[in-house]
A and B are shown apart, each in its own frame.
Chain A
Amino acid sequence: MQIKSKPDGPGMLVAAGLLALAGIIFWDTTQLAQRTVYGLGPEAAPRVVAAGLALLAVANFVQALRGALPSRGTADRRPLLLIVGGMAALMAVLTFGGGYILATAILFTATATAFGRRAYAADFAIGLAVGVATYLLFAKLLTLSLPMGPLERLF
């Protein structure tokens, strides 16, 4: 753990996020209906959590300001975007009825690419195979329902 002396910008952002979360929780408690309850109401626990988060936001901010955060290496953004993109594609395919197998194959290819592979066609084929195998296992043997699409209807 290396101590930097410069203020840590992203660290401050995290602190700001915590404060915002505290604010949202507190606002939410004001939306609760008032009525007879014995003992503690539904707003008590959220307010304690919100207060705790606000205090911790200050503590995190002070640490970031003093640069007292553990050092981080530089991160590569591309793989992040690929994986999150793969998840987004999965959701989109499922929403628009593309089916489980196709969605799985896309996520598989995106993740493999994020980890440095470039054989898109081969990876997509493996992804399809994994999708088909798990689909058959779940839907046919265990009779669980998975999202249907054109490929699933072939089986």
Chain B
Amino acid sequence: MLTVMRARACPFLMAGLTAAALAFGAAGAQAQDLKIMAPAAPGGGWDQTARAMQQALVQSGAAQSVQVFNVPGAGGTIGIAQFVNTSKGDPNVLMASGYVMMGAILTNKSPVGLDKVTPIARLIQETDAIAVPVNSPLKTVQDLAELVRKDPARVTWAGGSAGGPDHIAAALFTQKVGSDPTKLNYIPFSGGGEALAAILGGKVTAGMSGLGELESQVKAGKLRLLAITQAERIPGLDVPTLKEAGIDVALANWRAIMAPPGLTPDQVKSVTAMIEKMAKSQAWADILKQKGWDDAFLAGEPFVAFLKDENASTADILKSVGLIKP
């Protein structure tokens, strides 16, 4: 018995020691001491992205030690303001970012926008999907489009927070099927959990949510997916994209990594190389698989162009639903 216990206690001790060594090591190695800001509270999407990067960067050898710190608030706009003000010219601090922040900057009229940071790379993305309960009379996305055309007010949507990707997707859908997006009856819920409960309970006509949150309910036969919002089909998933259904919407919720303003071209290059090394590593691939995230690595000029396009189209749709005053 004693030996069993000792053998079992050993891994813990090792784990504890490594944890301590990692923690203290962070202070020692100054040169490669990287910090990543998660502009949200622990547990949220950006926090998980930052902590996943922390793990992958160290495991792939792209960085010696990585520390994650949280600056929560106002959809990331507090984080980005602090990031731009205090980290200017420092190549050892990065910030997790994404589509939600882009929307929040627009709706909160944040004085500091994504044009103030140095874009490094888009890392992952997740498509939104339109779901209805299995007993809903709506069988295809065309049925839903028909209903929206008839009377958008009577079609209630459940999804995440006001002005977030789910809201934008629902507004775009309403607009592109030829109805009036200002008449959209969108009910925001905090977090995916509550919205999903409302969809399952049949409290709303349809739900707009990240595919990952809906998937297990679909497998269990409780929800039916009508369409996904991103442009490309997902292999192995027999659900049409909105484009295939003739509705001109292409939207995915992406997460990216940004560097502070004022870096030299060489610094930008070396940071990009480090992130690319991480993104191409086995460690990162394993994490993506475990978390169910889709790789969407995009760096350099194409990423900058992508940001510009997204910003313009997001501003347009937010204006049309009245979330930003024209």
A and B touch in the complex (CB under 8 A): yes
Given contacts A38-B153, A140-B24, contact A33 B325 (CB under 8 A): yes
Instruction: Determine if A141 and B67 form an interchain contact, defined as CB atoms under 8 angstroms apart.
Output: no
Report A-chain residues with C-beta under 8 Å of the C-beta of B322: 33, 35-36
Complex contacts, B24 vs chain A, CB 8 Å: 140
Q: Does B20 contact A (CB under 8 A)?
A: yes
Q: In the complex, A35→B23 CA distance in Å?
A: 52
CA distance A36 to B24 in the complex (A): 55
Specify which chain B residues have a CB less than 8 angstroms from the CB of A36 in the assembled complex: 182-183, 322
Among A35, A143, A145, chain B packs the most CB atoms within 10 A around the CB of A143
Interface contact A143-B67, CB-CB below 8 Å: yes
B10 located at the interface, meaning its Cβ lies under 8 Å from any Cβ of chain A in the complex: no
Q: Is the interface of B mostly helix, strand, loop or mixed?
A: helix
**CB neighbours of A143 from chain B (8 A):** 23, 26, 67-68
Interface size band for A: 10 to 19
Docked pose: A38 CA to B27 CA in angstroms:
55
In angstroms, Cα B325 to Cα A145, docked, is 37
For window 1-39 of B, CB contacts with A under 8 Å fall at 20, 23-24, 26-27
Given A35-B322, A36-B182, A143-B23, 14 more contacts at CB 8 Å?
Answer: A33-B322, A35-B182, A36-B183, A36-B322, A38-B185, A140-B23, A140-B24, A141-B20, A141-B23, A142-B23, A143-B26, A143-B67, A145-B69, A155-B27
Q: Which of A26-61 contact B (CB under 8 A)?
A: 33, 35-36, 38
- How far apart are A144's CB and chain B's nearest CB, in angstroms? 7
Interface residues on B, range: 10 to 19
- Residue-wise, chain A 10-37 has the 8 Å CB interface mask toward B (1 for contact) of 0000000000000000000000010110
Question: What mask results when residues 129 to 154 of chain B are scored 1 for a CB within 8 Å of chain A, else 0?
Answer: 00000000000000000000000010
Complex contacts, A38 vs chain B, CB 8 Å? 153, 185
User: Interface readout for B299-318 with A: 1 if CB under 8 Å, 0 if not?
Assistant: 00000000000000000000
Which residues of chain B have C-beta atoms less than 8 A from A33's C-beta?
Answer: 322, 325
Q: How far is the CA of A69 from the CA of B182 in the complex (A)?
A: 53
Q: Which residues of B contact A141 (CB under 8 A)?
A: 20, 23
Q: Which residues of B contact A140 (CB under 8 A)?
A: 23-24, 27
- List the 10 closest pairs (A to B, CB-CB), nearest first: A145-B69, A35-B322, A38-B185, A36-B182, A143-B23, A143-B67, A141-B23, A140-B23, A33-B325, A36-B183
Residue of A nearest to B187 (CB): A38
Least CB separation from A34: chain B residue:
B322
CA distance A145 to B79 in the complex (A): 14
What's the least CB distance linking A89 to chain B, in Å? 22
Cβ contacts B23-59/A at 8 Å (1 or 0 each) = 1101100000000000000000000000000000000
A142 vs B69: C-alpha distance in the bound complex, in angstroms?
11
A35 contact set on B, CB distance < 8 A: 182, 322
Least CB separation from B182: chain A residue: A36
Q: Could you list 23 examples of A-B contacts with CB < 8 Å?
A: A33-B322, A33-B325, A35-B182, A35-B322, A36-B182, A36-B183, A36-B322, A38-B153, A38-B185, A140-B23, A140-B24, A140-B27, A141-B20, A141-B23, A142-B23, A143-B23, A143-B26, A143-B67, A143-B68, A144-B69, A145-B67, A145-B69, A155-B27
In the docked arrangement, what's the CA distance between A56 and B124, Å?
53
Complex CA distance for A88 and B185, rounded to whole angstroms: 47
Complex Cα–Cα for A38 and B205 (A): 15
| Least Cβ–Cβ distance between A37 and chain B, in angstroms | 9
**Which residue of chain A has its CB nearest to the CB of B68?**
A143
Chain A 99-155 interface residues, beta-carbon cutoff 8 Å to B: 140-145, 155
